[in-house]
Amino acid sequence: MKKIYHLITFTALAAIYSNNCLATVRIDSGIVISKKQIAATISFSGYTWNVKAPEQPQGPGPNVWSAANVYVDNEGSLHLKLSKNAATGKWECAEVSTNEKFGEGTYQWQVEGPLATLDKNIVLGLFNYSGRDGFDEMDMEFAQWGDSNNPHLNYTIWPVDKGTNKAYYTANFTMPGGTYTTQRFIRKAKSVTFKSLYGFVDNDNNVFDSKTFKSPASSISTEPMPVYINLWLYNGQAPSDGKGMEIVIHSFKFIPL
């Protein structure tokens, strides 16, 4: 990334908002309960976000999660870092989630980062998640899932009940205009529409991909859920190029229906 920021803002917030509450953790094989998952809270785009930092590796991945890899800069943008800890030799990831739950409406993120060329082991997730692994979830993920032949763009709807398969869409894309994109999905009771757009826009100009999932073909949850943003390593594998990554979320916006 071209921009360089200091960690002063986050350090101050972490000192003020220490929180060792119990919380559910998303992992690939199910749900577990762990103490000290939430290291701090931060304020971003008008909402309070919990910062994930459990004492032991946890999913997705599993991975090591660090509060030091999350901060808000002086311009109000959220930074998520994926970095190798020089002291431990372990790669550390970043995740935040809202205190507030959201239902039907428009979810929008303005993202700065090379989403079309992420390392095959790096995943950026923007999603709703209820806490039930494999259910009640709407995902926008940029990842190749460990295979450099896979496309980077992934939209997924996880079902409400057992017996219903997830619905998903994947595609390749390029970023000829730079590293700024708008990522958006619109939740309704019987449909979810995903849209990815070049630049920072509030309208439908510059859409480079979109997909609508409809019920009953897709089993769409109507449950209010927190919003998550995370940057992590697929199966806990180090980046194949050995390089860290930083993604900047310039804003998050929710507009209820």
Domain extents for the chain? 8-256
Tell me: the pLDDT tens digits for 66-121? 999 999 999 999 999 999 999 999 999 999 999 999 999 999 999 999 999 999 99
Average pLDDT, the chain: 87
pTM of the predicted protein model:
0.85
pLDDT of residue 250: 98
Tell me: the pLDDT tens digits for 162-172? 878 899 999 99
38 pLDDT band, cuts 50/70/90, is low
The 3 state secondary structure assigned to the chain is CCCCCCCHHHHHHHHHCCCCCCEEEEECCEEEEECCCEEEEEEECCEEEEEECCCCCECCCCEEECHHHEEECCCCCEEEEEEECCCCCCEEEEEEEECCCECCEEEEEEEECCHHHCCCCEEEEEEEECCCCCCCEEEEEECCCCCCCCCCEEEEEECCCCCCCCEEEEECCCCCCCCEEEEEEEEECCEEEEEEEECCCCCCCCEEEEEEEECCCCCCCCCCECEEEEEEEHHHCCCCCCCCEEEEEEEEEEEEC
Q: Does 139 score more than 90 pLDDT?
A: yes
Are residues 16 and 59 in contact, defined by beta-carbon separation less than 8 angstroms? no
Give percent of the chain above pLDDT 90: 81
Q: Does 62 score more than 90 pLDDT?
A: yes
Mean pLDDT of all residues in 206-218: 94
Q: Does 60 score more than 90 pLDDT?
A: yes
Q: Does 257 score more than 80 pLDDT?
A: yes
49 pLDDT band, cuts 50/70/90, is very high
Q: Does 10 score more than 60 pLDDT?
A: no
Instruction: Give dist(CA 179, CA 115) in Å, integer.
Output: 8
Q: Does 241 score more than 70 pLDDT?
A: yes
Q: Where are the alpha helices (DSSP H) in 122-256?
A: none
pLDDT of residue 104: 98
CATH topology of domain 8-256: Jelly Rolls (2.60.120)
Instruction: Give dist(CA 106, CA 115) in Å, integer.
Output: 21
pLDDT of residue 37: 56
140 pLDDT band, cuts 50/70/90, is very high
